Amino acid sequence: MTIFSKIAAGEIPSYKCAENEQFYAFLDIDPVTKGHTLVIPRKEIDYIFDMDDEELAAFEIFAKKVARAIKTVFPCKKVAQVVLGLEVNHAHIHLLPMNSEADVDFKHHVQVEAEEQKEIAAKIFKAFQELD
């Protein structure tokens, strides 16, 4: 079981931003920007392009809704979507509020205290719910 599966199952605490029966979104614990969110399938799939077409389409639609919620909380030009996939062997998408390309530089990270992470996650979660 991957660390992301344990997070989605609630075995490891996380800052939950959104969820449904297939997918889970939570704040990155080492964020590049405030609001840096990871979106994962609950089903363990190592490589995003190993998903079948229906799963991948549903994954992207879920990520789109999470991105819209992030943009509500963090007014920004765009929400970047980044797929790397080497850090954890579990398909995932990074969503990052951005105003310039510098905002998605994975060599630089921001410090966000636990209490602020909680507040950010709660705001994104609320915005996500209001999009229904």
Give the Cα separation of 63 and 82 in Å (integer). 11
- State the pLDDT at residue 42: 97
Give domain 3-130's CATH superfamily.
HIT-like (3.30.428.10)
Predicted confidence at residue 87, as pLDDT, reads 83
Tally of CB atoms within 10 A around 3:
13
Which tens digit of pLDDT belongs to each residue from 23-45?
A: 999 999 999 999 999 999 999 99
Positions marked active-site: 92
- Per-residue pLDDT tens digits for 107-129: 999 999 999 999 999 999 999 99
**Per-residue confidence (pLDDT) for residue 85, from 0 to 100:** 74
Model confidence pLDDT, tens digit, residues 51-89: 999 999 999 999 999 999 999 999 999 999 999 877 889
**What DSSP assignment string belongs to 4-69?**
HHHHHTTSS---EEEE-SSEEEEE-SS-SSTT-EEEEESS--SSGGGS-HHHHHHHHHHHHHHHHH
> What is the distance between the alpha carbons of residues 29 and 20, in angstroms, rounded to a whole number?
21
**CB atoms < 10 A from the CB of 89, how many?**
13
Domain range list for the chain? 3-130
pLDDT in the model for residue 10: 94
pLDDT at 86: 79
Q: Strand, coil or helix: what is 111?
A: coil
Residue 132 has pLDDT above 80, yes or no: no
pTM, whole model, 2 decimals? 0.95
First to last CA, the chain: 31
Phi, psi for 65 (deg, rounded to 5): -65, -40
